[in-house]
């Protein structure tokens, strides 16, 4: 096996054994399932660029060099063909879409395989192994050995060529193989998952390759936070064309999030009927049945026959995408009953609608809370629910997909409340932090006051509450991981999570340590004298010691939080209940013990800590 990062810079040797340059790139033919290397690019004397046909001039390749089959004077320059790309220039360190995993990743290396003097591209390495190898192969080997000591393997995260799509470079002229799964061929929900990971400029490039119907379906699948941004970045004419295609309720949600001038401009460009439907929906309050309903409802009259209803469905009602039930109304659009499609299909063509209609209809009032509507639909297993006004006039329906979105949104809000992660409305920045941790600010002020009055015991007690408060926050974070536990096959490896949390713990520990060191410096009551042979004043030594105590305590807390969260996930995975109180108390104990232990060690090493109190 060969890796591009290892190949780059290798010497190119001609048939006479003379080194004539070093590899700068290789080209592949994109038409194939496993593309073969077609050209070799290298820098010759005085950094002159050369490109040679791999098939004609390369006789062998190994870990040390590429050997040519002719001497230097017999080489003939070749050119990049329309269906070829250069790996280092066009793929290495570029963003690609993994169309199998539906995610945007960066290519850290490319893996190639040799067969009969042919090199073929197997795929892109997008994991940590490629990063380490790119820095230096020795670093990759060292990481492998360290992980083996812990019984783990350094994974190779490889994406095959037929599951790759390129983003950062315009390769629309490149003819890819018929097996290559392009981004625009994916399901709109999968495209939406990818778009949410891209920058606005990259999203715009993707939309250039989608027709209006695909774009409308994709925007409908995007999270609310992205929909208005995507429409806002499109030209007004295309944006209005896409909004016309979308369901009125989805279009109304997007237009409601746009600035007034932009929204009005788009509504004016839309058709009269479509803009009228959207404007009517914009008049309803958010988070109500009216706010999430669609006015596209299929209605029939009680005097129609089954055959007439079927003809109506094939004609006028064919444009309505959500035909789950047929609603029977009178001349003034008052709701009289409902017919299921099943009842319609199994009935005789001459049967009157009045003979098969069900009068007992579960409805929602237009001002009902959206969560109540969604829960009612879930309770009665409804695919759609009619929305009426105070006079029982049918206004629209809430479809099952909108109900699921509501339940998901409400569940996320409940989770944020349960884990203490939801910010109070209208409070941002430092004020949000103070609102959640106001009592901690009070304790910190008291700690400074206690230090100024030389109360060492009170200082330690108050200082420990800071660590306990951090422990409580980490317990909430650990519990949220348990609640939001991913499928087993999608979980991050334990070593990767441990490494990530260790890095986060180091960062948080440094911040807390620096702050506490600064406070210790300010409240130290004596400047101290120089220490022979060291030249450090006790006051400075005290500040450093206090900062280290806090920093190490927070780091240990972060690592303990990772371990406890992992254990809790395993317990929950076996169907057992995880006690939030046990998790919180456990981390508080770890925090208290670690703080006391590090403080004791610091006191022994730096006796001058007594100057604080």
Q: How far apart are CA 368 and CA 209, in angstroms?
A: 41
Strand-strand pairing, 2-3 and 11-13:
unpaired
pLDDT of residue 561: 83
Strand-strand pairing, 95-98 and 84-86:
unpaired
pLDDT of residue 528: 44
Strand-strand pairing, 2-3 and 109-115:
antiparallel
Give the distance, in angstroms, between the CA of residue 61 and the centroid of all CA atoms in the same chain. 41
In CATH terms, the superfamily for domain 2-164 is: PRC-barrel domain (2.30.30.240)
What region, left, alpha or beta, does residue 92 occupy, with left being phi > 0 and alpha being psi -120 to 50 degrees? Answer: beta
Contact of 526 with 545, CB cutoff 8 Å: no
pLDDT of residue 512: 66
Give the distance, in angstroms, between the CA of residue 230 and the centroid of all CA atoms in the same chain. 17
DSSP 8-class letter at 358: B
How many CB atoms within 10 Å of residue 325? 22
Would you kindly state where each structural domain of the chain is located, as residue ranges? 2-164, 188-283, 299-415, 429-612
Contact of 430 with 438, CB cutoff 8 Å: no
Burial classification of residue 160, based on how many CB atoms lie within 10 Å of its CB (0-12 exposed, 13-18 middle, 19 or more buried): middle
Q: How far apart are CA 44 and CA 522, in angstroms?
A: 63
Q: How far apart are CA 557 and CA 587, in angstroms?
A: 7
Q: Do domains 188-283 and 299-415 have the same CATH topology?
A: no
pLDDT of residue 377: 92
Tokens 């002020």, residue located: 445
Strand-strand pairing, 164-166 and 95-98:
antiparallel
Tokens of residue 450, six digits: 């206690």
pLDDT of residue 490: 46
Nearest CA to 138 out of 300, 23, 6, 256 is that of: 6
* DSSP tally for the chain: helices H, then strands E: 24, 20
Distances (CA, A) of 430 to 423, 435, 438, 511: 12, 9, 11, 16
| Model pTM score | 0.51
3-state secondary structure of 98: strand
pLDDT of residue 566: 78
> What residues contact residue 504 under an 8 Å CB cut-off, 6+ apart?
558
pLDDT of residue 386: 93
Burial classification of residue 77, based on how many CB atoms lie within 10 Å of its CB (0-12 exposed, 13-18 middle, 19 or more buried): exposed
pLDDT of residue 173: 40
What phi, psi does 570 have (nearest 5°)?
A: -65, -40
Radius of gyration of the chain (CA): 33
Burial classification of residue 415, based on how many CB atoms lie within 10 Å of its CB (0-12 exposed, 13-18 middle, 19 or more buried): middle
Alpha helices by DSSP H, 65-127: 87-90
Nearest CA to 90 out of 17, 147, 171 is that of: 171
Strand-strand pairing, 118-125 and 109-115:
antiparallel
Listed in order, strand segments (DSSP E) in 215-366 are 299-300, 325-329, 335-340, 364-365
Nearest CA to 479 out of 424, 561, 589 is that of: 561
pLDDT tens figures, 341-367: 888 889 999 999 999 999 989 999 999
pLDDT of residue 183: 59
Topology given in CATH for the domain delimited by 188-283: MgtE N-terminal fold (1.25.60)
SS (H, E, C) 25-76: EEEEECCCCCCEEEEEEEECHHHCEEEEEHHHHEEEECCCCEEECCCHHHCC
Tokens of residue 208, six digits: 């250039």
Q: Does domain 429-612 have CATH number 1.10.357.20?
A: yes
DSSP 8-class letter at 573: H
3-state secondary structure of 103: strand
Contact of 42 with 24, CB cutoff 8 Å: yes
- May I ask the CATH class of domain 299-415? alpha beta
3-state secondary structure of 122: strand
Q: How far apart are CA 608 and CA 419, in angstroms?
A: 41
> What residues contact residue 480 under an 8 Å CB cut-off, 6+ apart?
415, 419, 421
Q: Which residues of the chain have pLDDT under 70?
A: 33, 98-103, 162-185, 316-322, 412-465, 479-498, 501, 505, 508-509, 512-513, 516-517, 519-543, 573, 575, 578, 603, 605-613
């Amino acid at each position: 096996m060969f890796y591009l990062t290892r190949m780059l810079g290798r010497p190119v040797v001609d048939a006479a054994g003379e080194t004539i340059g070093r590899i700068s790139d290789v080209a592949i033919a994109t038409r194939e399932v496993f593309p073969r290397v077609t050209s070799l690019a290298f820098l010759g004397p005085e950094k002159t660029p050369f490109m040679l046909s791999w098939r004609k001039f390369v006789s062998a390749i190994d870990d040390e060099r590429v050997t040519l089959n002719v001497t230097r004077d017999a080489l003939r320059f070749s050119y990049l063909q329309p269906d070829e790309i250069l790996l280092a220039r066009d793929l290495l360190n570029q963003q690609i879409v993994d169309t199998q995993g539906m995610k945007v990743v960066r290519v850290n290396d490319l893996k190639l395989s040799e067969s009969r003097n042919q090199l073929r591209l197997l795929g892109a390495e997008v994991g940590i192994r490629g990063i380490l190898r790119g820095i230096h192969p020795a670093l990759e080997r060292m990481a492998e050995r360290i992980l083996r000591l812990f019984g783990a393997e350094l994974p190779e995260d490889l994406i095959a060529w037929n599951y790759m799509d390129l983003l950062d470079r315009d390769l629309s002229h490149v003819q890819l193989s018929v097996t290559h799964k392009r981004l625009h061929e994916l399901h709109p929900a999968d495209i939406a998952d990818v778009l949410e990971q891209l920058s606005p400029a990259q999203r715009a490039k993707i939309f250039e390759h989608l027709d209006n119907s695909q774009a409308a379906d994709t925007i409908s699948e995007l999270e609310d936070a992205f929909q208005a941004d995507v429409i806002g970045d499109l030209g007004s004419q295309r944006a209005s064309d896409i909004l016309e295609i979308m369901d009125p309720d989805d279009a109304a949600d997007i237009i409601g999030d746009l600035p007034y001038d932009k929204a009005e401009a788009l509504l004016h460009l839309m058709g009269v009927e479509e803009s009228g439907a959207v404007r009517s929906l914009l008049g309803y309050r958010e988070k109500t049945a009216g706010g999430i309903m669609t006015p596209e409802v299929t209605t029939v009259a009680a005097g129609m026959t089954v055959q007439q209803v079927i003809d109506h469905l094939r004609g006028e009602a064919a444009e309505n995408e959500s035909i789950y039930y047929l609603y029977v109304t009178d001349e003034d659009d008052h709701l009289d009953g409902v017919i299921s499609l099943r009842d319609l299909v199994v009935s005789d063509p001459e049967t009157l609608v009045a003979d098969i209609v069900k009068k007992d209809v579960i409805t929602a009032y237009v001002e009902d809370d959206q969560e109540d509507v969604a829960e009612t639909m879930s309770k009665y297993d409804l695919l759609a629910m009619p929305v009426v006004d105070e006079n029982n006039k049918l206004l629209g329906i809430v479809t099952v997909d909108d109900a699921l979105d509501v339940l998901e949104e409400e569940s996320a809000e409940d989770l944020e409340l349960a884990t203490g992660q939801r910010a109070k409305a209208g409070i941002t920045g430092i004020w949000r932090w103070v609102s959640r941790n106001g009592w901690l600010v009070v304790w910190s002020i008291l700690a400074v006051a206690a230090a100024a009055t030389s109360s060492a015991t009170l200082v330690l007690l108050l200082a420990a509450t800071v660590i306990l408060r951090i422990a409580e926050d980490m317990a909430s974070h650990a519990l949220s991981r348990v609640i939001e536990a991913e499928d087993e096959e999608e979980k991050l490896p334990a070593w990767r999570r441990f490494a990530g949390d260790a890095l986060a713990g180091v960062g948080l520990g440094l911040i807390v340590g620096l702050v506490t060191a600064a406070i210790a410096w300010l409240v130290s009551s004596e400047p101290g004298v120089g220490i022979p042979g060291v030249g450090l004043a006790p006051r400075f030594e005290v500040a450093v010691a206090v900062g280290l105590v806090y920093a190490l305590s927070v780091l240990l807390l972060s690592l303990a939080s990772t371990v406890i969260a992992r254990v809790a996930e395993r317990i929950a995975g076996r169907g057992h209940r995880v006690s939030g109180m046990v998790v919180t108390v456990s981390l508080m104990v770890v925090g208290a013990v670690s703080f006391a232990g590090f403080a004791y060690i610091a006191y022994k090493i730096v006796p001058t800590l007594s100057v604080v109190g």
